[in-house]
Structure formats: C-alpha cells, structure tokens
Chain A
Amino acid sequence: MTSIRQQTPVSDGKASKDSSTEKPSNYKRLSDDDLFRHSSQYRFWSFTPEQLEQKRIQVNAQAVQSIEEDLRNFVADNKTDLNEEEIKTIEMKAVPVTAEEELKLINLYAKKVQMIAQRLNLPTEIVATSITFFRRFYLENSVHKFEPKAIVLTTIFLACKSDNYFIGIDSFCEKTRGSKEQILKYEFPLLESLKFSLFNHHPYRPLHGFFLDIQAVLHGKVDLSYMGHIYDRCKKRITEALLTDAVYFYSPPQITLSALMIEDEALTTRYLELKFHGNNPDSSADEQKTISQDISISLEKLMTLIRDCKKIIEQSTNTSVEEAKSIAARLYFCQNPEDLLKKLKKRKHDEQDSPRAEKKTRVE
C-alpha cells in the first residue's frame, strides 16, 4: 500500500489557475500539494499503515501496563480478604483489552459521534471535524484511560467552537442531555491530545473543485441533475471515509477521487484520462501545462493509489453491540475490580436462593 508520505497526491480539480503573468523575482508559487504538506494535518496526522499500527499498539501497551499494575496492587492490598476463587475471577475477568479491541470500541463510538452531531443538525464539515477529533484523540489515548462515552460530547462541543459554529455550553447540554462539568473537564485534555492542531482539510472542498472541473472537462457530456445526485452521494461517502483509516494514509483529494470512483467509476476514469492525456479544447496550452505539472505522477500510479484507498474506505468499521458490550465490561472491571467481587458474591448468593436462575451480566 502506498501512503502520502511516499506519493505525491493529485491536486484538487481547481488547481491554482490564477493568471500566471510575470511574478516578482522573490515571489514563489506553491502548488496545493505543497500547501497540504505544510498543514498540521499532514505534519501530525499522516502515517504509513505500519506507523499507525505501531502507534495503536504502543498506546494500548502503555495503558495495559499500568492497569495490570493497578490490579496487582489491588490483589496485594487485599490479600488477606481475598479467597482463591476471587483472585481467580479477577485474573479471568479483569483482563485489559487489546489494541484491536480498543479500535473496535472507538469505531463504534466514532459512529455515535457522527449520529449525535447529525442529530444536532450541524453542517457536514463540523460533523466531519467531530469525527476526526474523536478518532485522533484515541490515537494518543487508550480507552482504558478515557472512557469513550465521556469524550464524545466534548469532541462535538470543541469541534463546533473550532469551526466557528458556537453553541453555548448550557444550550449544548440541553440539546445533548450532557453534563456541563464533564464536557468542560475534558476540553483541555482533548486539545492537548490533538496537539493543538485544529485545522482540518476535509475532502469536501476538493469534491467541489473536482465537480466544477469534471463539468468543464466533460462539457456537454454529463447530465447536470445526474451530477447533482452523484455530488450528494459522494458527500455521504466522504463522511463514511472519515470513519476509516484512509484519512491517515491518503490526502483529502485522493479520498475524494476514491469516493467518486465508488459512486461512478466510468465517469471518474474518463475524467482522469482526459485530464492526463486528453486535449481539453477548453483550456489553453498554458493551462494544460500547469495541470500536468501539478499532477506529478502518472495516471497509472494514481489509479493504483485510488484503488487502494477505495478498498480501505469500503472496509466495514462496524462493531456489533454485543462485542462492544463485552469490551466495555472488561474495561469497567479492570478499573473497578471490587465490583467484580461484589458481583461474584451476589451470584453465589442468588445461586443459593435459586440455583437455576441465570442472571444477565449488567454492563455499564
């Protein structure tokens, strides 16, 4: 798989076509790609798949280490009170979750972020920012340290402020039935985990650019109402892509092109072929030159890149509720082993009363 660290991403369609007359000698023109490479999104939040996996393993390992230490201390501190069965129960049930399991839980809650943000009727971009912030927070923190449920609302609250869509805390709490203290309490940790990098390049802006460009390049050959339809579908597809790891490996325009490819492969392929090889009668020779300079990779390479990206976007990030519950239960018992013992006592008590009664595990 290729990552943006190794590949030049294609610029979005409306690649700077500003009049390229004489420039003052010290005036340097930067392409859109150069700009993206200077962005904090690229500097802090772009990884190769190996780097990303390493990161997740590390965050998890650190948390697990401290949880295991806490559990050992708990057992040691209560040595005299604990019987063998109880110690065994702790060893069996209070098992820290793995990096993989963390990811499953995060994926589930990332969808919750999306759902709540959409229910608040927030603009698409802010829904996107909320999802992005939430997922980045858990690249830096383990679910063992910060319960996802607690971070969800803070994420949306900060995303609104960061994207200039201010909602007062009281009104926000009213709409989300959240706790004011809790939401505000996590604002600093969130900001810090985000490395104070709040500016997002979402793939919606390139989508707009590509749509204008597709209509210019394929002038008269595309149906406008059909294009509108595709536009809306691409937007939805992009929001879904933000729930996947594609955002860490590919640049926003690459994700946009992948979304386009998913929605209409023939159209997208034709557009790109014309863009790379075709003589577009509408653009001057000068513009043609600019475009081929901006797109400094071959069509073939780009197509491979898009196909790889598309694969990741289409991979499901669904986590079943059952699975999430069992992961959450373990998180809880790791943090509260005494509750595990209480439960054990209660079960034994119940069994004595009515041996057959099967009690459902209560999950927080």
Chain B
Amino acid sequence: MRALVACVKICYEGTTRGNHHTMDEATIAVELQGVTKRFGDVVAVDNIDLTITDGEFFSLLGPSGCGKTTTLRMIAGLELPTRGSLSIHGEEMGLRPPNRRPVNTVFQSYALFPHMNVRANIGFGLEMRKVVRDERSDLIDWAIDLVEMGGMGHRKPGQLSGGQQQRVALARALVNRPEVLLLDEPLGALDLKLRQQMQIELKNLQREVGITFVYVTHDQEEAVTMSDRIGVMHEGRLLQIDTPEAIYERPTTRFVADFIGRTNFLEATVASGDEIVLANGDRLRVSTGHADGTTIAVTVRPERLTVHNRDHAPDGRHRLDGIVDSVVYLGNAVIYSVSIDWMHLEVRCPASLAGERRGPGDEVTVSFDAGHTSVVVG
C-alpha cells in the first residue's frame, strides 16, 4: 500500500489542478451558501453554509435522515438545491449536470455496473472522457494495484465480496483524479475489522494524494479519527463545524454534545454576563455570551469529573456532593454513577488514578474545573 501511495502522489503531481485558479479560490474546494433542499414538504437540507478547503478531509456526521446524503448529492449534481448557491473551486455550479463537475462519488450502495467486469467498471469514467486505450489501461492497472485487487480485474461485481466491491468503487472514483472525492458511508457495509483497516488506508491515501475528501458517516468514532474537520448535522441543519477535538471538547449545542461521546448535562440559567446558576442554586463562573435569564445547560464529559471522599475535594474546582449509585469496572477505567440532589452524574476514572474503590451508597464529592465545561443551548 505504501509504495502505491507514492505512486499516486506522482500521478497527481502530473496534473494541472489549481493552475487555473487564483490563489484565493484555490484554497476553497467546495462552498455552499444558504443551501436548502426540499422534497415536497420535507426539508432535507435547511439553509446550510459550508466552506471546505482544498486538501481537507471533511466529514458530514449525523444520525440517519439528517440530510447528509442529500448534501453530498447536491455537490455531485445529482440533486439541485431548492435555494442557495454551490461552487467548486470558485466556479458556480448552478444547473451544471454531474458529468461536467470535477467531482466523483463513492456511493453508499457502490453502484457498480453489474454487467461490466472490474476493469470496465474502473475504466468507465476514463472511457467517457475519451482517454486513449493505452493510457486508460495503464491507469486501470494503477488503480487496481492501489486498492489491492490484482488478479480480479475480470470478475464481475457479483463475484466480489462487500469489501472488494467497496475497493472497486473507490478505485473507480480515484482513477479519474477528481478535485473533490465524495464518499457516502463507503465503509458502512464492512465488518468492524475491515472497516478499521480501510479507515487507516483511506486516511493515508487522502493525506498522500491531497485530494479533498467529503466523507459522509453516521459513525462518530469514524468521523473523529479520520477527519480534519467535522460538520455535525441534525434535521437538515449544520449545527457545528469544527475540528474533532473542538467538537468533542467545546460542543455548542446539546445535540452535538450528546451525539459525540458520552456527557453530563447540568441545567442552569444565566445570572449575569459570566456567572450562571445551576439548578441547585450553585453559582459557577463561565462566560456564556447569552442574555441574562437564558436557560442553558453546562456539559461536562465523564472523564473531566473526579470523585473524592466527602469534603476532600481540592480548592479551585467546582464541587457537588452526592452518593454513589453504581460502579462499573471496565478494566482500563471505572465508571461511577453518582446521584446528586437533582440528577445523576456519570464519572469516568482511569483505572490507574482510581485510587481506593468506592461502592454504592458511599458519600462522595464530585468536582470539575469550570474550564472543562461547555455551555450549550437547546
């Protein structure tokens, strides 16, 4: 795989990508402005703004039916926006049909041509662009090697396993050297082990060739490990666009905080500019940017909470008294469920730092650093 990745690099360097753009435009691969897509009464995509930079691994993440595929299909030209504008490398796409857009798609269902063998499938795009036979054949060889499908060039898609079909779909798109590659849950049909292996290979490939990947997934772990940036979608809206770390550590909405990893929500209201009041009356210094009296929630990840013996919590951290409900031992960590006055908190202690093990009924104090919290609305 590594040798092949080097080969990809050479092939890509030979292309003229970017030469016909000004510097400014070249840095923006895909731009959506106020894009809305309706299907009858259903608003599949609701007024989204999105800028994806050149060479970026960008993921669209969200639960089923949130509009990820629709967004991707609009970029590909398979669906036209009801409203808004969409440009690729600075060029407004408008009504331009899919065959005249510099993007290729790896479909959720692969969409391999069942009546053509692997080579014909991979060569289809080249053939449509009238690449001469010899060059086409070389490129097909290259793509087949790239996805390690050597010796299977003459099989029909029906004679391939799911993972092999997925590789062919990838090769069929990559062989065209698109400026932007759109991938719609390409690993969805694979088993866990193969999926993890393909995640690494895809990521390496993307890094080496430097094409922009727009990657759709509903698997938050996949998005977090692979992406440069993630856009989290919910009910057609783009809730937050950020690096995986920022999405995890500083979610801005309750949905995002809840969708990515596990978390605790402490209900609160804004008291004054940078002070909030928790449901139990405790005051906490965090700046919210919301008007006084707004109902908000503070979210804290379980691993940002620590458990202490009652009244032994260090100063400078916010403290909440509670009683241990249950303890789950995970090997590398211990999960405590602690009930405080008005709710339950989930606390995750790394096994190495867990110290003395507490049991149900123990009176404890849970503490956290205000800096490790995020204020979310909704």
**A and B together in one complex:** no
Q: What is A's interface to B at a CB cutoff of 8 Å?
A: none
